[in-house]
Structure 1
Amino acid sequence: MIKVVRGNPTPEELAAALAVVRARAAVLAAAAAGGGGPAAPEGWSDPARIARSVHPRPGPRAWARSAWPV
């Protein structure tokens, strides 16, 4: 059950909110049924992805990239 606590949403706004909740529930249900093991890390969160395209250069953040694998 979804309860509106504040405001007066339009039917379109309620439909959009419900679509988001249902999509999230479907993803969680598919993940639970898909094997239960830990998922592989996403490519976008891999620090090596950034290090491949950005080489250390002098500057205020150069120290942060100095230890990343190339």
Structure 2
Amino acid sequence: MMIKVVRGNPTPEELAAALAVVRARAAAASATPSGASGPRDSWSDPARIAAHRLPQPGPATWTRTYWPG
């Protein structure tokens, strides 16, 4: 693995920290099977929105928020 600094003048400690993060991410990526997806993020889950009733149309609809709760 080769890392090239293209801008700035990092200290040896900063380089070591950056390399540790890159190695940890690479190890985590190689440990996950290629066909398997990672854990689903709750923000991207469409069931989160559909689980609640949305406000019904009416004269005061503009005063209600789109996100119930």
Post-superposition shift, 1:18?
0.5
Q: Higher RCO, 1 or 2 (CA under 8 Å, sep at least 6)?
A: 1
Q: Percent identity?
A: 61
| Alignment coverage as a number of residue pairs | 59
Could you tell me which amino acid in structure 2 is paired with residue 37 of structure 1? Answer: G
Secondary structure of 1:8 counterpart = coil
Higher helix share: 1
1:1-70 superposed matches below 5 A: 1-32=2-33, 36-39=34-37, 42-44=40-42, 45-52=44-51, 54-57=52-55, 58-59=61-62, 62=66
For the residues of structure 2 that align with 1:12 and 1:2, how far apart are their CA atoms? 15
Taking structure 1 as the reference length, the TM-score comes to: 0.59
Which 4+ residue blocks in structure 1 deviate beyond 6 angstroms? none
**What residue ranges of structure 1 are gaps of 5+ in the alignment?**
66-70
**What residue ranges of structure 2 are gaps of 5+ in the alignment?**
56-60
Superposed CA RMSD in Å reads 2.8
